[in-house]
A and B are shown apart, each in its own frame.
Chain A
Amino acid sequence: MEQLRKEIENLREENAKLRSQLSESKVNNESLSLTEYQRYGRQMIVEESGGLRGQLELKSTRIVVVGAGGLGCPSLQYLVGAGVGHIGIVDNDTVEASNLHRQTLHDTSRVGTLKCESAKQKLNLLNPFVDIKTYPVRLTSENAFEIFDGYNYVLDCTDSPATRYLVNDVAVSLGITVISASGVGTEGQLCILNFKNQGPCYRCFYPTPPPPNSVSSCSEGGVIGPCIGLVGVMMAIETLKLIYGVYTIENFKPFLMSYSGFPQQSLRVFKMRGKQTTCKCCGSDPKITKETIESGEINYTEFCGQRNYNVCSADERITVKQYHSEYIESLEKDHILIDVRPSHHYDISHFQHSINIPLKELKNMHGSLDKLKERIPQLQENTNLVVLCRFGNDSQLATRIFKDEFKIKSVKDVKGGFFKYIDNINQDIPKY
């Protein structure tokens, strides 16, 4: 008994010593504790890391990561593992089960919790010597300056053009170098922006935003976990190189890396244009400044635009409840259900009684009834068509095409689509 008490006492003392070492070490950027020498030994003996000097550089560096998703998770993991001293994580999303195949810091038990907190919890276990601050907010024109101020680097791991322009503009204004990457499907891209305030920025590469209907997100276009993961890991490598001082004003050449996972994995490095003197953000006569951003004069949502799906009138739409009670259950209304999702979506899960005509195929028929009848042989002038897609957006566009181009009279769009039907009516249908 006495011995146990003594052991506990010893452990307590040791624990307190480690704790004080840890908190001391977190504020001390000028030296490493003995445990840190051990922890970082394997990377410090790589000559390119700059040894002790490089490790101290990492320790004193402050990095803010915007987005703790498919790119953010792998890059955070390696940067924290490497001993970057101070990390900020900006994300107001919560973990969903459909994130877990690629967002490797989160796990099943964290579903429903904040991504930034979930990431912090895992990262604290990985390396308690790193100081991690979370920002459970959406990055906006109002809060971005306050959040970014004081950080040395920004990692853009976001998922929409509007946020990408915002991250860029604020970083340029504060003189911060950005490591920017993106990915969808089996591909990814990566570049370094505003390098030491001399390199090109996002607006130098993309002065005009893409039309909103050409932009695909991971939830929409899908994404292979390791493909985007690899790009996130590459972001960590570029960040370490920046901190180690591998890139200099003299040797830095603007580039864009392009990764393809399929059919054969390949990584291309494209040589890119330099800083554009005409750039509205980093050029010689910038219109985008702290003042114009914070005042809201630069309107990111307006600049990037939004897709307009609301092209059907109220009487052209029915709810999933109406569809279920009036069309399926009562068999009251004879109808043909057209599912306009891409066929690889349809193959995962669908209504047995539906016909799959993807929106793209429908558009390419250019209103030819003959072509449509090849796909719907039983189609008559008075046929009732009901149109369905995943979320109820594409089905509205398709409803317009059926009515305006094919001149079919009775066409109804199902509001909220297949997924809404699953949520509200029948949760036994697989939802992906």
Chain B
Amino acid sequence: MVKVKVEFLGGLDVIVGKERIHKVEVTRDDGNAVNVGDLIDYIVAKMIKEKNDVEVFIDNGSIRPGILTLINDTDWELEGEKEYELDDGDVVSFTSTLHGG
């Protein structure tokens, strides 16, 4: 089990009860280390209240284009994306790309 902080920024908080910051505990049945992929599954299964909102977050089995995923304030592309193994205290942030100007 890991205890991590999950943030929904850039207006994405609308899919998780309009709360930007969530503290969650995620476990894996097989006892292996919990990775970011597991956290995403957890968010879809447990945190997104309305199933219509899943498509705001997930597209084609992955994070929807236009959403940046950050692990401890770093682009997840630099950290191994879904394979990154979470530690207690890690912060995973999802932020919608903005386009207005």
Q: Which A residues are within 8 Å of any B CB, using their own CB?
A: 67, 69-72, 156-161, 164, 181-185, 187-189, 205-211, 214-218, 221, 223, 228, 256, 258, 260, 268-273, 363-364
Contact = CB atoms under 8 A, between A and B. Distances in A.
Given A206-B65, A271-B75, 10 more contacts: A67-B101, A182-B101, A187-B10, A209-B66, A210-B66, A211-B64, A223-B100, A268-B73, A269-B73, A363-B52
B100 A270 contact: no
A342 to B, nearest CB: 11
A272 B100 contact: no
Question: 8 tightest CB-CB pairs across the interface, nearest first?
Answer: A210-B66, A184-B100, A208-B65, A182-B98, A218-B100, A159-B101, A273-B77, A271-B74
A158 B99 CA distance: 8
Nearest to A188: B98
A135 B52 CA distance: 43
Interface of B: 9-11, 50, 52, 56, 59, 64-68, 70, 73-75, 77-78, 93, 95-101
Does more than half of chain A's interface fall in helix, strand or loop, or is it mixed? mixed
Contacts of B74: 270-271
Contacts of B95: 189, 258
A295 to B, nearest CB: 26
Nearest to B74: A271
Contacts of A271: 73-75, 78
Contacts of A181: 101
A273 B75 contact: yes
A124 to B, nearest CB: 23
A218 B78 CA distance: 32
Contacts of A164: 99
Contacts of A184: 11, 98-100
Nearest to A268: B73
